[in-house]
Amino acid sequence: MTPVRREGYIFCQDLRVACYQTNRQTYLKPTAFMDMAQEIAFWAASGLGFGYDTLHVHHHAWVLSRMHLHFISFPRWRDEILLKTWHKGADGLFYLRDFDLRNAAGEPCALGTSSWVVIDEQTRRFVRPEDLQHLMAVEEKMDDAIATPAPKIQLPRETAPELVAEHTVAYSDLDLVGHTNNVRYVVWALDCLPLEEAEKPLKDLYVNYNKETTHGQKVELYRLRQDNAWYVEGRAEGKPCFVVKLEY
């Protein structure tokens, strides 16, 4: 992995698309971009003094709550790409972080905005921003990859989504906090779609994380198609734990 470098308040990483990050047509998978974004977010937060190691000392952890990704083009296997991210400060309980992915010619491939919260690792409750000011005292970069924060997503009202699968949270789903990694929910959602739909070029991806899931839990997966979008909602013990909206 190439190192992350800092340019002012922007953190950058030069990458090359690997074969295991692509689909059958050799294009970068949306979930592979999410993996990249997750990793650079870790290094960027660490570089600003509020990364995993610093928060873990206080029994706190970052948790992704919402994300909106807009895809313009998809780089292919072996393409050189540049990923950038920056911290945009607090918005209520959320901390905002944007992403910008470009090809070797400097043309945009994907743009993203994400909303994060800090939780207490022991109580699993939110930590209020005012209790974190001593850690978050940095100047934010307010430029926008996507101007509007990632929205709240729900299944359309008065619809009847179809139950298509049940997934038991397994070892491969877990992250270093001990719950299902945020990217895995989108993997499950895409796996719920017909293959010919999942492989279409995605335009926008929205995801909300409503309730964590842990090893051994059973998650029922419901899907619904409306206009040019697919919705996939996961329910654990009868309660929604995530919802994904995929616009093609």
Q: What angle do CA 8, 79, 23 make, to 5 degrees?
A: 115
Do 77 and 25 contact (CB within 8 A), yes or no? Answer: no
Tens digit of each residue's pLDDT, the chain (248 residues): 689 999 998 999 999 999 999 999 999 999 999 999 999 999 999 999 999 999 889 889 999 999 999 999 999 999 999 999 999 988 888 999 999 999 999 999 999 999 999 998 888 888 887 788 777 766 666 789 999 999 999 999 899 999 999 999 999 999 988 899 999 999 999 999 999 999 999 999 999 999 999 999 999 999 999 999 999 999 999 999 999 999 99
Nearest to 71 by CA among 26, 96, 41, 101: 101
pTM (two decimals): 0.94
In angstroms, the CA 39 to CA 46 distance is 11
